[in-house]
Copies of this chain bind each other. A is one copy, B any other.
Amino acid sequence: MSEAIIYLEPDSTLSLQSQIRQKLIDAILKGAFPPGSRLPSSRKLAEQLQVARNTVVLAYEQLLGEGFIESRERSGIFVSGNVLDGRIGYDGAPSSLQEPGGNWRDRIRLRLDRRPGFQWPQDWQQHPFPFIEGHFDASLYPTAQWREASRLALGARLVQESTVTESGADDPMLLEQIRTKMLPRRGIVASPDQILITLGERNALYILSRLLMDADVRVAMEDPGSPVLRQLLQQTGARLMAQPVDECGMVINSRLQRAQVIHVTPSHQVPTAVTMPNERRQALLAQANQHDQLIIEDDYEHEHNYLGNPHPAVRSMDTENRVIYVSGLPKVLAPGLRIGFIVAAPELIREARRLRQMMVGRPSLINQRTAALFLSLGHYDSFMNRLHKTMGERWDALRQALNHYHRGHEINHPTVGGTALWVESPSHIDVNTLVAEAARRGILIEPDTHYYSGRGRSRNYFRMGVTSIPKDRIRDGVQQLEQLIQKLSGERLERLDSQDPGLLDGDALQQLLSGATIRYKTFYRDPCTIKLKSDGRMLGRAGYADEDRDEGRWWVEDDLYCRQWRHWSYGEPGAYRVTVHGDHIRWWRTSGELVDSAIIERSDAKLD
């Protein structure tokens, strides 16, 4: 055994000692070192591998302790004779198998959609502008804090505890943390027997769907809504009612009264991200009480409200235990673990626990304790603050960019938060074409197609998410998307007619604009007022409470209306052609595309 028979991998995450141990065990179990064969001396192996001799010695000692090898007086180290006992070799096992009659099609009784959701390209990270929702860039993962919590959890005497805790009982520390740290943020009070820990929110929804739904039950869900959820509800055989969504979330109408169970996402509706106002939450609850309905409140992304505070959960207003509250730790943590939970009436929780036991057993106690420590150490709070800040900045950048470039129409679903925006594609551009063309340019956006019940229907919306795109790429991405839209619009795009009688020259512009007030709505339907002072100063007010203010300069140059804000429009100067018909003013890029239109009021001073 002169030449080295194992090699070390430079970029392995294992320590040298661990690697040596692992490689030797592999070699032994795979028969490279038959039982009784002699191993190189620690000195020799250390030379061959170019590691400190002590590293090899320690690895050997562990293997000795584990009985893989044995050392014989004055003759060296050998593979134990019985090391392969009880192992059955590969021989005799068929290397490849034929399908049984190939009729899996008949055998498999439950078939799921091939791809319920929209599939981002495998290499989405190679795209410069991934406006993706759901995937998170790894930089957001709280590795250090998570590691600390795990280390402490592994140190705990959980294994002993687990043998005494009633089978199926969750970690009391995690229940306590959820009750005191997470639920108060949502205004919810719950006793431990009202909480069940699940393997993520989806697992919670699956358990509830199996418990509460079958062919005799009518279940209402939002339309548009999550395709994964739709699939999950469908496989119970329940009769699905697609309930429309408006800018306040699920529409509440007499039709909804026929449902026995209502699934709803009040915090940020999927996919529109609109938030259900308190009035509608009250109305929903009132109807549920009147018609004896159950509500499954899927509290998706409740943390991410950037404009105003989060609303209390519907569950917190519930006095009749009709609301089944589902939430969990944020999806960013999924690689480490999925933790979700259900808050509901104790009787339902009892049944849910039984089903969970049959389906997956109790979620690992060590995982539960890790989550509990992550919460109790304050890591969850600081992590959520960081996440909230990052998402808020990205979301804001996306809103700004859309307002700046994607002008000409308003957004139909104004939102106060979330991690995505729901944008209407110009009526003359098919959204699937747009998505495909955009992807070819490295811009990933999501079509609305799969969100509507009744496959492949589309209302020509697309979704732009910010969970994976760095803030500083957002403006560029939106600009390039707008250029693509221009290109695809081609002829159908209204262009400046140089013969337009309403086209103003420099003098007319000066006269018209000086002292004038321009009123229009932002992309987000907020009223916006711009006052053009005769001295060239310019004041802007946006929002219902004028909460968004800016000032800047305006002037006329070569028959162009020029302006520069301090903050708005990225504080960059712009120059536009202007046409006026009556009090209807429109401005155009010098290249001829329409930028926006508004109402103009001339101050009386100017009138005489």
Contact = CB atoms under 8 A, between A and B. Distances in A.
A206 B359 contact: yes
Interface string A121-157: 0100100000000011110010100111011101111
A310 B85 CA distance: 10
Interface stretch (A250-258, A318-326, A450-458, A512-520): A318-326
Contact of A22 (B136, B157, B378): B378
Contacts of A88: 184-187, 309-310, 312, 316
Interface in A337-379: 337-338, 345, 347-348, 351, 354-355, 358-362, 364-367, 373, 376-378
A66 interface: yes
A152 B200 contact: no
Nearest to A11: B157
Contact of A180 (B18, B29, B159): B29
Contacts of A138: 159-160, 162-163
B355 A335 contact: no
Interface string A150-177: 1110111111101110100000000000
Contacts of A146: 154
Interface in A369-402: 373, 376-378, 381-382, 385, 388
A357 to B, nearest CB: 8
Contacts of A436: none
Interface stretch (A106-114, A239-247, A600-608): A106-114
B359 A100 contact: no
A351 B112 contact: yes
A93 interface: yes
Given A147-B154, A364-B335, A358 B163 contact: no
Copies of this polypeptide in the complex: 2
Given A22-B376, A294-B107, A364 B367 contact: yes
Interface of A: 13-14, 18, 21-22, 25-26, 29-30, 63, 65-68, 85-90, 92-95, 97-101, 104, 107-114, 116, 122, 125, 135-138, 141, 143, 146-148, 150-152, 154-160, 162-164, 166, 180-181, 184-189, 199-200, 202-203, 206, 210-214, 216-217, 228, 231-232, 235, 260, 289, 292, 294, 303, 305, 309-310, 312, 316, 318-322, 334-338, 345, 347-348, 351, 354-355, 358-362, 364-367, 373, 376-378, 381-382, 385, 388
Q: Which 8 A-B pairs have the closest CB atoms?
A: A66-B382, A25-B378, A88-B187, A162-B335, A97-B321, A141-B159, A138-B160, A112-B354
Given A14-B373, A29-B180, A138-B160, 13 more contacts: A18-B148, A22-B378, A66-B385, A68-B381, A88-B310, A93-B187, A125-B164, A138-B159, A143-B154, A159-B336, A199-B361, A206-B359, A334-B364
